[in-house]
């Protein structure tokens, strides 16, 4: 007799195989499941989604083996037992295993060169070095002293970057001293320079930009005016077009009004470097990026996940992928928004994490995952977020769990991974940032050297004594998710990646008219920094 359904399920799980429904029915009819599954490597299949075509090929190989060994019994009790097996003579040469099934891609993608993706993942050792992770290091009590310390650290850290990276006309002066000596800085001959936090940015009736600039000693009312004719400046126009974020740290240079109550800004100074030189890894392995899988939601695209799993097991490019970065919201969570229960296929939170662990197990053994939380995950909502609890981690193998954000290196290449909740604040606060172009929010984060500057906005923040959202080192690769878009571009020497989702359009997105860009696997080689994206939708 064949194995029971429970025995068959255990056997398939140990081998990392997920059968199609039609295959599952035929497997129950097998008299010797294991010997048929042993034929999987001979047809180029090891782990993943077991389709009808792969199963038939395995069955053909088993039949030939069984006949050659003069064992006339067929593995199928009812259907195959009655079929005559032709007798074979001496085997002159080994039989050629069937070619792996071709996976069709949209627009004949991807396009990549072997020289750019030069090393198989199994040929390189693991090399993950975490530089910053709040996990185990959160010491805030949420008191006013913690908030003050957090903003003081932000101001001091970014002030140093502005002095180092910007062309200031003179050394910055404390705001209280500038007020005391305002008569010195009237007219165009002698400019004053100050660095501080932006408060209450607003536009005047004439379209000028006004804000208050605050440091440890005082506050300065600043005005950036629209210019005409020969006085027009493209950098000023861009700032006037976009606006400023509350709690930005920036430098200003300019002069006082005759009354000393207004500071006319000639130039703004941000902490961003003019350019960044990427580090190239010694090993030519690759890293892939996904985000917002939302396992447990009825809109999770499971069929496309299994299509990707098959690609991982069969495609030459996939064999170069040593790391898979999962940038938050891997499950849909429970109680995240009103009415979510009706949109869940797995209503239990731990059941969602267990299912995602099972899906990751289908990937090849050479792939190592780095997983961080997002706003749908079972961690505190305030950023920076510590990683998952141990009772969630226990179901996962070959997975490194980190907090959100996380600054780490892979073979010396510096990565900054952030789920991206603050993109909501950038869309609300800057007029040039939209959900259709989330990469612009990432550019603005790098310009400001801060992931989430606004306090009290859409992103809950934890006031750690050392601001964990300051971008202290410019990354070679900067990745976010959250908005269910997809992009991969270079910005001043940093590769910006907006990771794709694995969730179809939700009812809320449909109401807003927002169309996600799902099932795009972004791949970056750590040595050549060549990029490509594989569509599975």
Q: In this structure, what CATH number is given to the domain that contains residue 470?
A: 3.60.21.50
130 contact partners, CB below 8 Å, separation of at least 6: 402, 406, 407, 408
- Specify if 148 maps to a domain: no
Residue 118 lies in a domain: no
Co-location of 297 and 215 in the same domain: no
Residues 393 and 491 in one domain: yes
Whether residue 444 is found in the same domain as residue 495: yes
Mean pLDDT estimate for the chain? 87
Share of the chain above pLDDT 90, in %: 69
Quick: pLDDT tens for 13-24.
Answer: 778 787 777 788
User: Average pLDDT, stretch 130-151?
Assistant: 95
Compute the distance between CA of residue 473 and CA of residue 94 in angstroms, rounded to an integer: 56
Q: Are 332 and 437 in the same domain?
A: yes
Least confident of 67-76, 85-94, 108-117, 367-376: 85-94
Comparing 25 with 206, the larger pLDDT belongs to 206
Closest CA relative to residue 331, chosen from 507, 521, 503: 503
Helices (H), 204-268: 234-242
**pLDDT > 70? residue 92:** no
Q: pLDDT tens for residues 245-275? A: 999 999 999 999 999 899 999 999 999 988 9
Last residue within a domain, chosen from 228, 243, 269: 269
> Residue 96: pLDDT above 80?
no
What is the distance, to the nearest Å, from the Cα of residue 266 to the centroid of all Cα atoms in its chain?
A: 38
Q: Decide if 122 is inside a domain.
A: no
Confidence band of 101 (pLDDT split at 50, 70, 90) = very low
pLDDT band at 466 (very low <50, low <70, confident <90, very high): very high
Using the 3D structure, point to which of 269, 285, 304 is the last residue of a domain: 269
Domain annotation covers residue 155? no
Query: 257 and 217 in one domain?
Result: yes
The answer, yes or no, to whether residue 231 has pLDDT greater than 80, is: no
* pLDDT beyond 50 at 429: yes
Q: Quick one: 30 and 46 in the same domain?
A: yes
pLDDT at 2: 59
| pLDDT tens by residue, 386-419 | 999 999 999 998 899 999 999 999 999 999 999 9
pLDDT at residue 89 is higher than 80: no
The CATH number for 199's domain is: 2.40.50.140
CB 263 within 8 A of CB 255: yes
Please choose, from the candidates 357, 470, 383, the residue with its C-alpha nearest in 3D space to the C-alpha of residue 131: 470
Q: What is the mean pLDDT of residues 362-374?
A: 96
Q: Helices 21-28 and 52-68, interaxial angle, to 10°?
A: 30
Total domains in the chain come to: 3
**pLDDT at residue 85 above 50?**
no
How many Å apart are CA 49 and CA 308, to the nearest integer? 9
> Of 101, 118, 153, which residue is a domain's last?
101
Q: How confident is the model at residue 352 (pLDDT cuts 50, 70, 90)?
A: very high
pLDDT(83) > 50: no
pTM given for the model: 0.79
Q: Does residue 353 share a domain with residue 319?
A: yes
Q: In this structure, are 240 and 286 located in the same domain?
A: no
Q: Is residue 116 part of a domain?
A: no
370 confidence band (pLDDT: 50, 70, 90): very high
Residue 106 predicted with pLDDT over 50: no
The pLDDT of residue 307 is above 90: yes
Q: Are residues 237 and 285 in the same domain?
A: no
pLDDT tens for each residue of 27-60: 888 878 888 888 887 776 777 777 887 888 788 7
Locate all alpha helices (DSSP H) within 415-466, ordered by sequence.
423-429, 439-448
Residue 8, pLDDT score:
80
Overall average pLDDT of the 130-159 stretch? 95
Domain that holds residue 18: 5-101
Dihedral sign (CA 178, 179, 182, 186): positive
Task: Give pLDDT, residue 107.
Answer: 40
Q: What is the mean pLDDT of residues 2-17?
A: 76
Whether the predicted pLDDT of 188 surpasses 90? no
302 falls in which pLDDT band (50, 70, 90)?
very high
Higher per-residue pLDDT: 35 or 210: 210
The pLDDT of residue 100 is 40
Does residue 214 form part of some domain?
yes
Pair 198, 293 in one domain: no
Average pLDDT, integer, range 316-332: 96
Considering the domain boundaries, does residue 42 fall inside one? yes
- Regarding whether 408 and 308 lie in a shared domain, the answer is yes
- Residues 86, 187 within the same domain: no
In a domain, 497, yes or no: yes
Taking 80 as the threshold, does the pLDDT of residue 4 lie above it?
no
Q: What's the mean pLDDT in 202-208?
A: 92
Choice between 206 and 419, residue whose per-residue pLDDT is larger: 419
């Amino acid at each position: 007799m064949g194995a029971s359904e429970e025995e068959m399920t255990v056997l398939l799980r140990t081998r990392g195989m997920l059968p199609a429904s039609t295959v599952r029915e035929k497997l129950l009819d097998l008299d010797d499941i294991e010997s048929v599954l042993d034929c999987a490597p001979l047809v180029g299949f090891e782990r993943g989604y077991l389709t009808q075509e792969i199963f038939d090929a395995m069955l053909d190989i088993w039949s030939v083996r069984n006949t050659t060994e003069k064992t006339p019994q067929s593995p199928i009790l009812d259907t195959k037992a009655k079929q005559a097996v032709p007798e074979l003579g001496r085997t002159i040469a080994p039989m050629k295993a069937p070619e792996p099934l071709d996976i069709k891609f949209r627009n004949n993608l991807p396009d990549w060169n072997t020289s750019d993706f030069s090393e198989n993942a199994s040929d390189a050792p693991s090399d993950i070095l975490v530089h910053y992770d709040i996990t185990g290091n959160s010491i805030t009590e949420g008191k006013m002293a913690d908030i003050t310390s957090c903003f003081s650290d932000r101001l001091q850290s970014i002030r140093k970057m502005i002095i180092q990276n910007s062309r200031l006309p003179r050394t910055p002066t404390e705001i209280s001293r500038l007020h005391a000596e305002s008569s010195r800085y009237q007219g165009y001959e002698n400019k004053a320079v100050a660095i501080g936090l932006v408060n209450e940015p607003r536009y005047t009736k004439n379209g000028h930009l006004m804000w208050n600039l605050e440091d440890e000693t005082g506050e300065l009312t600043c005005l950036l005016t629209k210019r005409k004719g020969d006085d027009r400046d493209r950098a000023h126009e861009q700032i006037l077009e976009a606006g400023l974020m509350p709690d930005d740290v920036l430098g200003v240079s300019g002069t006082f009004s005759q009354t000393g109550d207004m500071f006319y800004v000639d130039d703004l100074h941000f902490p961003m470097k003019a350019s960044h030189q990427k580090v190239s890894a010694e090993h030519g392995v690759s890293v892939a990026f996904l985000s917002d899988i939302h396992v447990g939601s009825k809109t999770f695209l499971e069929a496309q996940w299994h299509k990707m799993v098959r690609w991982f097991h069969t495609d030459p490019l996939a064999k170069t992928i040593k790391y898979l970065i999962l940038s938050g919201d891997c499950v849909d969570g429970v109680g995240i928004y009103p009415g979510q229960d009706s949109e869940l296929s797995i209503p239990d939170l731990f059941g969602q994490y267990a299912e995602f662990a099972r899906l990751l197990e289908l990937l090849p053994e050479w792939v190592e995952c780095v997983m961080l939380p997002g706003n749908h995950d079972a961690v505190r909502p305030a950023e920076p977020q510590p990683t998952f609890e141990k009772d969630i981690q226990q179901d996962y193998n070959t997975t490194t769990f980190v907090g959100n954000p996380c600054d780490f290196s892979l073979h010396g290449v510096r990565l900054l991974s952030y789920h991206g909740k603050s993109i909501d604040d950038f869309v609300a606060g800057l007029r040039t940032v939209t959900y259709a172009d989330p990469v612009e929010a990432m550019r603005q984060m790098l310009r400001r050297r801060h992931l989430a500057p606004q306090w009290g906005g859409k992103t809950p923040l934890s006031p750690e004594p050392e601001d964990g959202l300051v971008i202290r080192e410019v990354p070679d690769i900067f990745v976010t998710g959250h908005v269910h878009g997809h992009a991969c571009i270079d910005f001043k020497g940093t590769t910006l990646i907006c990771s794709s989702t694995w969730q179809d359009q939700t009812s809320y997105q449909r109401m807003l008219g927002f169309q996600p860009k799902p099932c795009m696997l972004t791949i970056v080689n750590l040595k050549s920094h060549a990029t490509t994206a594989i569509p599975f939708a």
